[in-house]
Amino acid sequence: MSNTLKQSRETLSLSSDLANAYLETIYDRNVAPTEIAVAGLDDFDRPMPTSAGDPNETLRLLDRLGSPATTATTGGRFFGLVVGGTLPASLGARMLASAWDQVVFNNATSPIGVKLEQVVAKWVLDILSLPDKSSVGFVTGATMANFTCLAGARHTILERNGWDVQKQGLWGAPCIRIIAGAQSHVTVLKALTLLGIGTEAIEWVPCDSQGRLDVAQMPKPDDSTIILAQVGNVNSGASDPIADIVANSNGAWVHVDGAFGLWAAASTSTSEQLEGYDGADSWVVDGHKWLNTPYECGLAICKHPTAVHEAMATQAPYLKVGGKAAPKDMVPEFSRSARVVEVWAALHSLGREGLQELIDRCCRHARTLADGLRDQGFEVLNDVVLNQVVATLPNSAGWSAKLAAHVQKSGKAWFGPTNWQGREAIRFSVSSWATSDRDIKQTLDAISEARLSLIG
């Protein structure tokens, strides 16, 4: 055995041991790191070593200082963002994919990466009941997925008006109308600005009490319009009336931001909330949210693959032209990791029934959490239709940030304050495969204790 292989094997074995030791305590430890652990991070502030050292010692230092200072997002009591933990199969897949060290550029650089992207694309379109000829691009997350789909939309609309944006740019380009619900997520707006479309150009549409776009108040679109819709409001979990939006689109491009909510289409218990969503032109969903893959895993799905290819393709003398589009010609990134491996592992290990059960279980936990909050005197502000809960304390002010901070500091759970429909509130996103009935009870107990301590 070569020294290189021996060193890699020893280091990989050590990293596995350290990761296992971390996970063995994750479900009982504080969700937020202690002040001592965070202060210990200052020990990283040291000069870069002059000479090479033992890679195992590097890992041990990273574990000693870093592991205690993590937020336990992979456990069962983190509700601060719409993210899950990491499924065992996806965690193992990431480790294996890191060892493979693939750049999923095209078939020549990574046959396995390209094959799995093709397989997972078919699986995703099937389980989400989306048009089977749609393209599926694997990117870092919803921001770049929105960017990818909206770049395709921009290309299509300008092409309709005789303008080649890839060659001519945006100076002097025909106007693109943007219609969006007032509750559109900031990542969609960020994607628009990256594409050179300012937020002042948006024609905002009022939303109802659950954050759903009010189609009756939507301006009449035309074929130079992009309509921004969403499934899964980040506060309430509610979905826009996509069927009505599509029916009134009048040739506009309908884009659906479904960063977490689109997974609801995979369960018969929740799919009816998304009625008509398959009639849109493009969709976005994250793997690292409700599918519980590691971070940096988003999917850009488009009914019009040619539009995305025209917007994203890069051609150079050494790139093979013709045949199926290489992955790098369907997304922004040129150098791409094999992040699809983690999506494949999640879907393969769960199966259809397991995925539905995961979605249904999170929704059930959310309803239990909402009931428990009502029992403590909170008012739940949203209809708990998916995995989101927003609650407030009637006749109270200035309490939400303090209560959330108190619970975070206790280490018993992690959620954050929010402002929903002009009311001070706390927000919970139940997205993890690891969340149990015990975790929900511990969280409710921590809230009760914090409320008594702060408010009485």
311 is a domain residue: yes
What is the mean pLDDT of the segment spanning 347-371? 98
Q: How many domains does the chain have?
A: 2
Q: Please tell me whether residues 99 and 63 are part of one structural domain.
A: no
| Residue 3 confidence (pLDDT) | 75
Task: Confirm if 129 and 303 have CB atoms less than 8 A apart.
Answer: no
Q: How far apart are CA 173 and CA 158, in angstroms?
A: 8
Task: Confirm if 277 and 256 have CB atoms less than 8 A apart.
Answer: yes
What is the mean pLDDT of the segment spanning 231-252? 97
Q: Please tell me whether residues 181 and 287 are part of one structural domain.
A: yes
Query: Residue 196: which CATH number?
Result: 3.40.640.10
Report the chain's mean pLDDT, rounded to a whole number.
Answer: 94
Name the domain boundary from 346, 371, 402: 346
Binned at pLDDT 50, 70 and 90, residue 319 comes out as: very low
Name the domain boundary from 346, 374, 397: 346
What is the mean pLDDT of the segment spanning 71-78? 93
170 is a domain residue: yes
Q: Please tell me whether residues 119 and 63 are part of one structural domain.
A: no
Q: Please tell me whether residues 309 and 217 are part of one structural domain.
A: yes
| Residue 283 confidence (pLDDT) | 98
215 is a domain residue: yes
pLDDT single digits (tens) 11-59: 999 999 999 999 999 888 899 999 999 999 999 999 999 999 999 999 9
Task: Confirm if 6 and 51 have CB atoms less than 8 A apart.
Answer: no
Name the domain boundary from 324, 346, 368: 346
Residue 183 half-sphere exposure toward CB, CA atoms < 13 A: 26
371 is a domain residue: no
Q: Taking the model in full, what pTM does it have?
A: 0.95
Q: Please tell me whether residues 102 and 9 are part of one structural domain.
A: no
Query: In this model, does residue 318 exceed pLDDT 50?
Result: no
Q: How far apart are CA 23 and CA 15, in angstroms?
A: 12
177 is a domain residue: yes
Q: Please tell me whether residues 20 and 124 are part of one structural domain.
A: no
85 is a domain residue: no
Q: How far apart are CA 296 and CA 142, in angstroms?
A: 9
Q: Please tell me whether residues 208 and 141 are part of one structural domain.
A: yes
Q: Please tell me whether residues 26 and 133 are part of one structural domain.
A: no
Residue-number span of the structural domain to which 232 is assigned = 93-346
Instruction: State the angle between helix axes of 400-410 and 437-454 in degrees (0 to 180), rounded to the nearest 10.
Output: 120
pLDDT single digits (tens) 199-217: 898 999 999 999 999 999 9
For residue 287, give the nearest of 110, 112, 77, 124 by alpha carbon.
124
What is the mean pLDDT of the segment spanning 266-284? 97
Q: How far apart are CA 327 and CA 137, in angstroms?
A: 7
Q: Please tell me whether residues 60 and 110 are part of one structural domain.
A: no
Residue 113 DSSP symbol? H
368 is a domain residue: no
pLDDT single digits (tens) 117-140: 999 999 999 999 999 999 999 999
Q: Please tell me whether residues 103 and 234 are part of one structural domain.
A: yes
23 is a domain residue: yes
Task: Confirm if 65 and 43 have CB atoms less than 8 A apart.
Answer: yes
Q: Please tell me whether residues 17 and 109 are part of one structural domain.
A: no
Q: Please tell me whether residues 8 and 154 are part of one structural domain.
A: no
For residue 282, give the nearest of 119, 118, 151 by alpha carbon.
151
